[in-house]
Amino acid sequence: MLGLEYELSPADVDESAEGPPAERVALLAGRKAAAAAKGRREGLILGADTLVDVDGQALGKPKDEEEAARMLARLAGRWHLVHTGMCLFDAGTGKSLQKTVTAKVRMGNLSEGEICAYVRSGEPMDKAGAYAIQGLGGSLVEGIEGDYFAVMGLSLFALRAMLGEMEFGLWRP
């Protein structure tokens, strides 16, 4: 959406981490950027990670459909936070920037049948908090305060600012 060419390079990193969810996403984004940067001498590498935060407890990707249903039942009818950590690393200079963006999301009231139908769609299985706001899960969300793209998993506004700070291409200040 920013008009940039990129190469997707999944980073196989240990995603276990301790601490508050907002700190964990920053740490994991840094790990992913570092892993993807190995062996590179130039270019910008972006690592990102997202967690749903309910009362200070992180909800990552569900292990199975039962866990997905439990997560959605817990989120139903209430507000929660979504933290997206981003780490931008310049392989040529070694400079890196980190940013965590948090949005507040209110999940609508959901019946057990609605939760089961959504889980059966398969969409929740690879998503933090067991929903994808950019997909079918968007119909479950009653409200949002903050950056929609951060809830999706990558804040375009924050990324644009980080690119400007790195003096990258058209995003130079």
* 126 flagged as catalytic: no
49, 53, 126, 147: the catalytic one is 49
Residue holding tokens 């590179």?
40
Q: Would you call 59 exposed, middle or buried from its count of C-beta atoms within 10 A (0-12, 13-18, 19+)? A: buried
CA atoms of 145 and 15, how far apart (whole Å): 27
Tokens (6 digits) for 139: 């119909």
How many CB atoms are located within 10 Å of the residue 133 CB? 22
Residue holding tokens 């996403």?
25
Active site members: 49
